[in-house]
């Protein structure tokens, strides 16, 4: 049996400080969590508005289950497409300012489905080097030609677009980069796409619910509206539940219904999740206070982290990475914080480039200013 080879590989990973391990939560997702019987102050969830454990969402999920049952029982194209799914798609589309939307089970599957449905042999996908793994996997799976450009480097993207004369062109980018927290320059990207007749797929996993008026996302943040923009966002982060959607022109959505394999060949999500998400959308739309509080925490954290031996990366979002450098050093800092009852994930290659291991601090509107103060103080103590 080849178990020995597998174990050797894992041991090698461990020696490099790259072994991944899970820890088990014994409480709902919240700033204060219980892991292995111990309580921690957590800065690593993407539950940016604190909706994952919100009483009204819990009630909506319960009512949804009463009304619709538990399982969808089939794919959307067979008999799994329920009234709650359908209503949610309409509301999501109008919320982000698009004519139509389509629910997917996860953001990972949405990205696989969209890229594969819109680009194939003879087409070209242009991708930022810091894009999320799901976009990277999606473009490989699509069998289109792939051109990657340096992070947010519009000059290089322009050159690459210029070189391609045939086939469909699809530019794909995180709107908020998941490990860096910075934004893609969407107005410039759109201008280039218009100039070169390319489509623009933005992955708004970390902007939806947080950025723009009423949390409508990165398009609203930049004030962008264009038929050539396709917007994907996840529903397991700021929305606090599970799932993802793609919003675009009706003909694009119809194409996805017919050709996105990760849509066609999978069971619809439980309709009760759609009930919970309809409530989540209400909370997001009326969540200016939550977003205001989150913004104040971001300012507090950034100013408090000045003067540390590790650098705060340029980010105005809820993702505030602290650049450490080495893998072991990042792990060690994360462990030292954990000893103090604070939980921040260390992110290492290949998720981020070599030599840029970091603590990925994420803030939530559910944090209190005192929580952030405690993190700042602990980091200053550890730096001494």
Ligand X SMILES: *Cc1c(COP(=O)(O)O)cnc(C)c1O
Residue 129 is a catalytic residue: no
C-alpha dist (Å) from residue 129 to 171, 247, 304, 339: 12, 24, 30, 35
**Using rule CB under 6 A, residue 205 touches ligand X:** yes
Minimum separation from the CB atom of position 126 to ligand X (A): 17
User: Which residues within the stretch 133-172 sit at the binding site for ligand X (CB under 6 A)?
Assistant: 134
**Residues 236, 325, 326, 341: which binds ligand X (CB under 6 A)?**
236
> What is the secondary structure of 290-307 as a DSSP string?
HHHHHHHHHHHHHHHTTT
E strands, 108-175, in order:
124-128, 145-149, 169-174
**Residues 42, 124, 178, 315: which binds ligand X (CB under 6 A)?**
178
**Using rule CB under 6 A, residue 262 touches ligand X:** no
Q: How far is CA 225 from the centre of its chain?
A: 21
**Using rule CB under 6 A, residue 234 touches ligand X:** yes
Which CB sits closer to ligand X, 42 or 134?
A: 134
Looking at 65-73, 201-209, 366-374, 376-384, which segment touches ligand X (CB under 6 A)? 201-209
Minimum separation from the CB atom of position 117 to ligand X (A): 17
**Using rule CB under 6 A, residue 108 touches ligand X:** yes
Name the 3-class secondary structure at 233.
strand
Q: Which residues contact 57 (CB under 8 A, 6 or more apart)?
A: 51, 240, 241, 276, 279, 280, 283
Task: Give CA angle at 8 (4, 11), nearest 5°.
Answer: 140
Looking at 37-45, 202-210, 256-264, 295-303, which segment touches ligand X (CB under 6 A)? 202-210
Contact 283, 49 (CB under 8 A): yes
**Using rule CB under 6 A, residue 106 touches ligand X:** yes
Rounded to an integer, what distance in angstroms lies between the CA atom of residue 317 and that of residue 299? 10
Of 54, 68, 206, 367, the active-site residue reads 206
Instruction: Identify the CA nearest to 176 among candidates 29, 360, 326, 310.
Output: 360
**Using rule CB under 6 A, residue 356 touches ligand X:** no
Which CB sits closer to ligand X, 107 or 270?
A: 107
* 240: number of Cβ within 10 Å: 27
**Using rule CB under 6 A, residue 47 touches ligand X:** no
Q: Which two tokens stand for residue 216?
A: 């409508």
Minimum separation from the CB atom of position 205 to ligand X (A): 3
C-alpha dist (Å) from residue 308 to 202, 312, 322: 34, 9, 10
**Using rule CB under 6 A, residue 244 touches ligand X:** yes
Minimum separation from the CB atom of position 206 to ligand X (A): 6
Name the 3-class secondary structure at 332.
helix
Of 85, 98, 237, 367, the active-site residue reads 237
**Residues 128, 180, 203, 371: which binds ligand X (CB under 6 A)?**
203
Angle between helical axes of 107-118 and 250-259 (0-180°, round to 10): 100
Of 42, 105, 178, 280, the active-site residue reads 178
Residue facing ligand X at closest CB distance: 107
Residue 237 is a catalytic residue: yes
Size of the residue set binding ligand X (CB under 6 A): 14
Rounded to an integer, what distance in angstroms lies between the CA atom of residue 89 and that of residue 112? 19
User: What residues line the site for ligand X (CB under 6 A)?
Assistant: 106-108, 111, 132, 134, 174, 178, 203, 205-206, 234, 236, 244
User: Would you please indicate which residues are annotated as catalytic (active-site) residues?
Assistant: 178, 206, 237
């Amino acid at each position: 049996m080849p178990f020995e080879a597998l174990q050797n590989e894992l041991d090698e990973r461990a020696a490099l400080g790259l072994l991944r391990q899970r820890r088990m939560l014994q409480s709902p997702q919240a700033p204060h969590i219980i892991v292995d019987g111990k309580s921690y102050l957590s800065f690593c969830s993407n539950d940016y508005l604190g909706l994952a454990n919100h009483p009204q969402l819990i009630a909506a999920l319960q009512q949804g289950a009463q009304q619709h049952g538990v399982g969808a029982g089939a794919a959307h194209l067979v008999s799994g497409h329920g009234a709650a799914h359908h209503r949610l798609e309409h509301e999501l589309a109008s919320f982000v300012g698009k004519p139509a939307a389509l629910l997917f089970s996860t953001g990972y599957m949405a990205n696989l489905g969209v890229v594969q449905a819109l680009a194939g042999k003879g087409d070209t996908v242009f991708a930022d080097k810091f894009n999320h793994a799901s976009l990277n996997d999606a473009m490989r799976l699509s069998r289109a030609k792939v051109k990657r450009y340096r992070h947010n480097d519009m000059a290089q993207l322009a050159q690459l677009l210029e070189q391609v004369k045939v086939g469909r062109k699809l530019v794909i980018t995180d709107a908020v980069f998941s490990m860096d927290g910075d934004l893609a320059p969407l107005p410039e990207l759109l201008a280039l796409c218009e100039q070169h007749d390319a489509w623009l797929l933005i992955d708004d996993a970390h902007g939806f619910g947080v950025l723009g008026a009423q949390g409508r996302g990165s398009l609203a943040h930049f004030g962008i509206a264009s038929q050539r923009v396709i917007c994907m966002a996840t529903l397991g982060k700021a929305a606090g539940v599970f799932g993802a959607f793609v919003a675009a022109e009706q003909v694009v959505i119809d194409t996805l219904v017919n050709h996105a394999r990760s849509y066609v060949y999978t069971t619809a999500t439980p309709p009760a999740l759609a009930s919970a998400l309809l409530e989540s959308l209400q909370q997001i739309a009326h969540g200016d206070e939550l977003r205001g509080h989150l913004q104040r925490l971001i300012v507090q954290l950034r100013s408090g982290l000045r003067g540390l031996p590790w650098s705060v990366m340029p980010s105005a979002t809820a993702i505030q990475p602290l650049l450490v450098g080495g893998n072991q050093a990042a792990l060690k800092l994360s462990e030292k914080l954990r000893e103090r009852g604070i939980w921040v994930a260390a992110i290492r290659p290949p998720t981020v480039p070599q030599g840029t291991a970091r603590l990925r601090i994420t803030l939530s509107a559910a944090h209190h200013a005192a929580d952030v103060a405690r993190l700042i103080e602990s980091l200053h103590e550890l730096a001494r």
